């Protein structure tokens, strides 16, 4: 048996309201559940959908000690290239730390990387796997 795809992503955070603002303001997330003081899982949690329809990504946030050491481990969300400048401004207005971009090969897509208050690294990526593989694959192998 193999996986049929990603089910959800969970982030442990110290401030649920702050993370909700990041998800809604930057990623356009819609909250679909808030446990309030009830805890069916490990702690208070909220669920969000990012994107449309059946292809939407389920993101969960849970209250806890979310302080992580910063690394390049990250989750990337697909965005339109034309939206990147506005998204960068929204991220800056939220006071989030924007990571300097890594070097890129022409054609592999553009990204904005930023850390939330708990050390999670997010990438907003304008490009696709198909585009990246076309750039990385030598012409003779295509």
Which pLDDT does position 25 carry in this prediction?
Answer: 97
Which pLDDT does position 142 carry in this prediction?
Answer: 54
> What is the topology classification, in CATH, of domain 8-141?
2,3-Dihydroxybiphenyl 1,2-Dioxygenase; domain 1 (3.10.180)
How does pLDDT run along the chain (142 residues), one tens digit per residue? 787 778 899 999 999 999 999 999 999 999 999 998 887 888 999 999 999 888 899 999 999 987 788 898 999 999 999 999 999 999 999 999 999 887 777 777 789 999 999 999 999 999 878 888 887 776 766 5
Distance CA(73)–CA(87), nearest Å, equals 21
Are the C-beta atoms of residues 57 and 50 closer than 8 Å to each other?
yes
Q: Which among 45, 80, 108, 123 is annotated as catalytic?
A: 45
Which pLDDT does position 42 carry in this prediction?
Answer: 83
Sheet containing strand 110-115, strands side by side: 74-78, 121-126, 110-115, 97-99
Which pLDDT does position 83 carry in this prediction?
Answer: 94
Does residue 20 have an active-site annotation?
Answer: no
């Amino acid at each position: 048996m193999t996986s049929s795809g990603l089910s959800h992503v969970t982030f442990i955070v110290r401030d649920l309201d702050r993370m909700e603002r990041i998800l809604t303001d930057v990623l356009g997330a819609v909250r679909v559940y808030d446990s309030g003081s009830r805890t069916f899982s490990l702690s208070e949690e909220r669920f969000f959908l990012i994107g449309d329809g059946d292809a939407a990504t389920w993101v969960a946030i849970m209250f806890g000690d979310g302080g992580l050491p910063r690394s390049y481990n990250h989750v990337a969300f697909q965005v339109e290239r034309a939206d990147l400048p506005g998204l960068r401004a929204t991220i800056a207005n939220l006071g989030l730390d924007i990571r300097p971009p890594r070097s890129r090969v022409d054609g592999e897509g553009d990204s904005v990387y930023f850390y939330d208050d708990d050390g999670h690294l997010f990438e907003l990526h304008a490009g696709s796997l198909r585009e990246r593989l076309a750039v990385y694959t030598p012409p003779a192998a295509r």
